[in-house]
Chain A
Amino acid sequence: MEFALSEEQRLLQDSVTRYLESQCTLDHVRAAVENEVTKHTEVWNGLSDMGIHGIIIPEDFGGVGLGFLEAALIAEALGRTVAPVPFIASCVMAPVAILAAGNASQKDIWLPKIASGETVFGVGVSEQVGRRETNGIQFSDGKLTGKAMFVLEGMSADMLIIADDKGVMHIVDANAKGVTRRNLKTIDKTRAVAEVVLENAAADTLSGSQNNTEALLKTIDTGRLMLAADTLGASEVMIEKAVAYAKERKQFNRVIGSFQAVKHMCAEMATELEPCRSLVWYAAHSVNHIPDESRLLACHAKAHLSEIGRFVAKTSTEVHGGMGFTDLLGLHYWFKRIGLDRQLLGAPELIREEAAVAQGW
């Protein structure tokens, strides 16, 4: 019985975190955001060299074949450094969809390209979580027509996975005829979401998702899990920054961290976040090892981390006082990262309702 990271997992976590903390600095993030560049950056290529792109892709397809706990550790490290890279959509959700529902040739073609970093995938499944400004996406005669909103990494992607109205997933070339993409500006500039308008766009169906929602649900669940891990990492850093600031900033001739009002804000953040780490580990572990529980756990991890993330984002900003509100300090990159994570693939109330239904309540 061991509820802890293995030696290998800790090494992976340490090396990725160390790499990102040295290379994916706030200056890098600011520059990447300014140029709206999220792929083929030095950081993205560096992660590729470490095998991160193929983290969950089996070795037969050029990946490293690790589990979702390892993927969650990567997502956490990326959240820590608000890294502007398309990891969640391209390296987790797309391979999950292709592995679960793709045919042999789809796997052979796409998985090695994802693992090598040659191809970046965007994922559009928002309509299957909660349809907003759209009339949906229809599929007939091998073509897709309609509008997919909030497509994760839709702008930087070379290829897209789009779920139609029936929940069937298809591979679509992002640059093909009949595909129009538009950036949807959000509060968080570190990851792009797009509107994808499809007009008779050629689609290569992932046939395993026909008449069977398992693959789609697993794609959404693992995406949620990664968003939860991303929020975990971003929240950790917001707490570390708040504590460091509270130890250094002086008012009334004292460091503000010696005031109980400020100390308790820090203690509350750390207290609330600590069990979240165990929840994310367990939820990620369950995808590979306790599949019966993984749906419920992914829902809870996403919803709960969203709530705690929001609390940490607000409280940490308050601990920083006026400086927290400025662009100068850049704390808002973490605040906004957590803000976007919360809304994507279902905000907490929606997910909790799903979790209730999943338990037959």
Chain B
Amino acid sequence: MDLAYSAEYDDFRSEVQQFLKEHGHKSPKGRMGWGKTDDEGRSWQQLLIEHGYAARTIPKEYGGYGAEADVLKNHIIAEEFVKAKARPGHSGDPRLVPTLLELGTEAQKKAYIGPTISGEMTWCQGYSEPGSGSDLASLSTKAVLEGDEWVINGQKIWTSGAQYADMIFCLVRTEPDAPKHQGISYLVFKMDTPGIEVRPLVTMTGEAIFNETFYTDVRVPKDQIIGARGEGWFVANATLKHERGSLGDPNQLETRFGALVKMLKSEKIDGKPLIKYPAYRDRLLQLQARVLSMKCNGMRILSASIKDQEPGLCRWIVKLLGCELNHQMAALAIDAMGELGVLYEDSPYLRDYGMWQRNYMLDLGLIIGGGTAQIQKNMIGERALGLPKEPKYKD
């Protein structure tokens, strides 16, 4: 155990701090990432790329900064940006860009990576379907090759950002007779292609965070496939891994815990702060232990990654525990606020812009999305503990 950083990294941290001191005021408000961006967001991102705080490891020829991968430097950048409340840079869509880098052709990398990391080109993901959620490989949106074009028909769901995305990366069935995992291809195409219809999907929070998207005879040039025909499942798996890694981040847990403490200190019943009530206090302390343990767990993962070791079980559990913990923090905030806790939208007396109720619902969505809690437990049981799979159902 040595939690100190070497001189090289201390110097690097000072550089980041110096940059933020000089330029931090240019950061757009809010923590928008790689989704919809505006001019202000794009020029901030450009500045970050130039200094190596965004698209850091993406090669220069594709518009990135071109540094060598260094887990600890990434970690320091992330920490300092959170501290300075500056909008973090991004490396384009975190599911798509690594996939392109690994499996795209030279032409595809040139065409897509640059505009994606600069924020000019935004993406949505077309994986899940109404009939294919946890069993994603059973997806049935099909693409048939006619001459030089794929002709796509079907429906996708949970397509977040589809209403403003320029492009989609999409899993389609191209080999209907092959076993389900081997019949899928990974296509990329423009969202303004004729035949695509986007319908907002309103969630329990009241917002249209997602969409349903419909594809009727959508024609896509033949070469807009990543990887080989029928190998889309394996192409997509690389990106699924990236998506799972980002949910349940310990920095975010700490931020939310801080907000929870602040609220419990400032809100009062009959003049007495909520934090002084033993029942709320005890729940708060239970949550603090969990946040701390996830922070330590995060350090352990970081430490393993630096040494290029597979962190094992401690990585598997992050999504499952982190999302649940966020949800429980929101639950305590709501409970402690009593009737005030249910105020919503633009109600008078609304606290913290209604974020606790919104997060309470949103977190439930995250517990389900990106691999449900139950699917996570199957994976932990089977891959980490070596328990046998459920026998296949024969029909």
B1 at the interface (CB under 8 A from A): yes
Interface CB pairs A-B, < 8 A, 11 = A1-B72, A257-B388, A263-B378, A267-B378, A267-B381, A275-B296, A275-B321, A278-B299, A297-B292, A353-B278, A355-B285
Contact of B282 with A361 in the complex, beta carbons under 8 Å: no
CB within 8 A of B386: which of A1, A243, A264, A285?
A: A243
B contacts, CB < 8 Å to A: 1-6, 9, 72, 261, 265, 275, 278, 281-282, 284-286, 288-290, 292-294, 296-297, 299-300, 302-304, 306, 313-314, 316-317, 320-321, 374, 376-378, 380-382, 384-391
0/1 string, A262-286, CB within 8 A of B gives 1: 0110111011101110110110010
Is A325 an interface position by the 8 A CB rule?
A: no
- Complex interface: chain A residues within 8 A of B387 (CB): 243, 246-247, 257-258, 263, 266
Asked if A352 is at the interface of the complex by the 8 Å CB criterion, the answer is yes
Residues of B within 8 A of A173 (CB): none
Selecting from A24-32, A81-89, A299-307, the interface stretch reads: A299-307
> Is residue A104 contacting chain B, with contact meaning CB distance below 8 A?
no
Q: Which residues of A lie under 8 Å from residue B389 when comparing CB positions?
A: 258
CB within 8 Å: A-B pair count = 154
Contacts of A260 in B (CB 8 A): 374, 377-378, 390
- Is A3 touching B321 in the complex (CB atoms < 8 A)? no
- Docked-complex contact B374 and A264, CB < 8 angstroms: yes
Residues of A within 8 A of B302 (CB): 1, 3
Question: Is A267 within 8 A of B385, CB to CB?
Answer: yes
A141 at the interface (CB under 8 A from B): no
Contact, CB under 8 Å: A352 / B377: no
B contact face: mostly helix, strand, loop, or mixed: helix
Q: Does A5 sit within 8 A of B, measured CB to CB?
A: yes
| From A255, A266, A303, A361, contact of B281 by CB (8 A) | A361
Contact partner of B3 (CB less than 8 A), chosen from A3, A278, A297, is: A3
Bound CA–CA A152/B290 (angstroms): 29
Min CB–CB distance B71 → chain A (angstroms):
10
| Bound Cα distance from A14 to B302, whole angstroms | 24
Q: Are A279 and B9 in contact (CB under 8 A)?
A: no
CB atoms of B289 and A278 under 8 A apart: no
Query: Is B303 in contact with A1, judged by CB distance below 8 angstroms?
Result: yes
Q: 20 more A-B contacts (CB under 8 A) besides A247-B386, A274-B313, A300-B292? A: A1-B306, A2-B2, A2-B303, A3-B3, A6-B1, A247-B388, A257-B381, A258-B389, A259-B390, A264-B374, A267-B376, A275-B314, A278-B296, A281-B296, A282-B292, A303-B289, A349-B282, A353-B278, A356-B281, A361-B265
Tell me which of A255, A271, A289, A300 has the highest count of chain B C-beta atoms within 10 A of its own C-beta.
Answer: A271
B276 CB, nearest partner CB in chain A, Å: 8
- Please indicate the chain B residues that have their CB under 8 angstroms from the CB of A69 in the complex: 1
CA distance A355 to B392 in the complex (A): 50
CB distance from B131 to the nearest CB of A (A): 21
Partner of A279, one of B3, B72, B289, B316: B289
Query: Does A254 count as interface, using CB distance less than 8 angstroms?
Result: yes
User: How many residues of chain A get a CB closer than 8 Å to chain B's CBs?
Assistant: 45
Interface check A328, CB cutoff 8 A: no
- Report chain B residues within 8 Å CB of A282: 1, 292, 296, 299
Question: With A and B bound together, what is the CA distance between A2 and B302 in angstroms?
Answer: 8
Q: B384 and A270: CB pair below 8 A?
A: yes
Q: Which residue of A lies closest to B317 (CB)?
A: A271
Report the Cα distance A226→B348, complex, angstroms.
Answer: 51
Measured CA separation A155–B281 after assembly (Å): 38
Q: Is A109 an interface residue (CB 8 A)?
A: no
User: CA separation between A196 and B286, bound complex, in Å?
Assistant: 34
Q: Cβ of B281: which chain A residues have Cβ within 8 Å of it? A: 352-353, 356, 361
Q: How far is the CB of B40 from chain A (nearest CB, A)?
A: 34
3 smallest CB-CB distances across A and B, nearest first, come from A278-B296, A352-B285, A304-B289
Q: Is the CB of A258 within 8 A of B386?
A: no
Query: B3 and A1: CB pair below 8 A?
Result: yes
| A289, B4: Cα distance in complex, Å | 11
Assess A4 versus B297: contact at CB under 8 Å? Given A247-B388, A274-B314, A304-B289.
no
Known A4-B1, A276-B293, A353-B281; contact A271-B320, beta-carbon cutoff 8 A: yes
**Chain A positions within 8 Å of B306 at CB level:** 1-2
In the complex, the answer to whether B385 meets A266 with C-beta atoms within 8 Å is yes
A163 to chain B, nearest CB (A): 25
Q: Which residue of A lies closest to B72 (CB)?
A: A1
Chain A residue nearest in CB terms to B390: A258
- A267 CA to B296 CA, complexed, in Å: 20
Please determine whether A279 and B385 come into contact, CB atoms closer than 8 angstroms.
no
How far, in Å, is A73 (CB) from chain B's closest CB? Answer: 12
